[in-house]
Amino acid sequence: MNPTKASSNSADSVAELFFQGACQTESICVLSGKDDTELVALAIARPKEGRYFLALYCRHRGLVESLLKPDKRSAEIIRLEATLWSQVYDDLRQFDLRQDHFVSWLVTHVAKTLTKIPDELPLSLRSEKVPVPLVPFLRRALDQLPQPQRLLFILREIMDFPISEMLEMLDKVGFTLTEEELATQLQRANYQVLRALPQDIYSIYFDKKSGLLPEPKTS
């Protein structure tokens, strides 16, 4: 069996994200009775759980899409949304639970996003393959990856570089790997990224039934 093919077909491949129905999962639906301020407070108090942020996204994504100029091309809207929601995720801790109103606060962020070049997000995360609300969590997980695994993950799983081109590029920057070594490194990178995600977010997008992280193979 081709080890590279096995790696690219593995269940933990971020190139094959599950997104349909994420907003209808039980862990999100049970939060429907909580208002925005409660969800923000929970997101701040429980940073290892991502469902509160996802619930806010699901509730207000329609508003955001309507404000981000729907006449734009689909790919451009996705980049704008990814930039916006990543900034919202980063700024939640600055939300004043006593005074701020979430919708007004969110609209202000939309306005700021529209006045900036929508390429502040790393190129690796401006991909139509990646669901918008997953981007903030993946960005933080990627920041924890050591080199060369971070580079490998971005090239293969997000930018979909051919294996042959990856090997040539890596050799030029001083990371000489065989095809088998590349497959092993990619598998470990996938595992480490998924392990860094909040468990509830992992369960929604990658393994709704068990929520268990697959162990990386050692051979």
Q: 153 lies in which domain range? A: 20-205
Interval 130-184: pLDDT, tens: 788 888 898 888 888 887 788 788 778 776 788 888 888 777 766 788 999 999 9
| Count of structural domains within the chain | 1
**Domain membership flag for residue 59:** yes
In a domain, 118, yes or no: yes
Q: Is residue 213 part of a domain?
A: no
**Element housing 165 (H / E):** helix 163-172
Give pLDDT, residue 125: 66
In a domain, residue 79? The reply is yes
pLDDT at position 212 is 43
Opening angle at CA 105, ends 101 and 111, nearest 5: 150
At 74 the pLDDT is 66
Average pLDDT over residues 6-33: 63
Cis ω for the linkage preceding 148 (within 30 of 0) = yes
**What is the pLDDT averaged over residues 40-65?**
93
Give the integer Cα–Cα distance in Å for 24 and 180.
40
Domain assignment present for residue 157? The answer is: yes
Q: Is residue 133 part of a domain?
A: yes
- Do 83 and 44 contact (CB within 8 A), yes or no? no
Lowest average pLDDT, out of 9-23, 24-38, 201-215, goes to 9-23
Beta carbons of 193 and 138 less than 8 angstroms apart = yes
Give the range with max mean pLDDT: 12-16, 23-27, 117-121, 203-207. 23-27
In a domain, residue 32? The reply is: yes
Predicted confidence (pLDDT) per residue in 62-95, tens digit: 888 877 766 555 667 777 888 889 889 999 999 9
Whether residue 219 lies inside any domain: the answer is no
Q: How far are the Cα atoms of 137, 194, 197, 199 from residue 140, in angstroms, in the given order?
A: 5, 11, 8, 14
Q: Is the pTM of this model over 0.95?
A: no
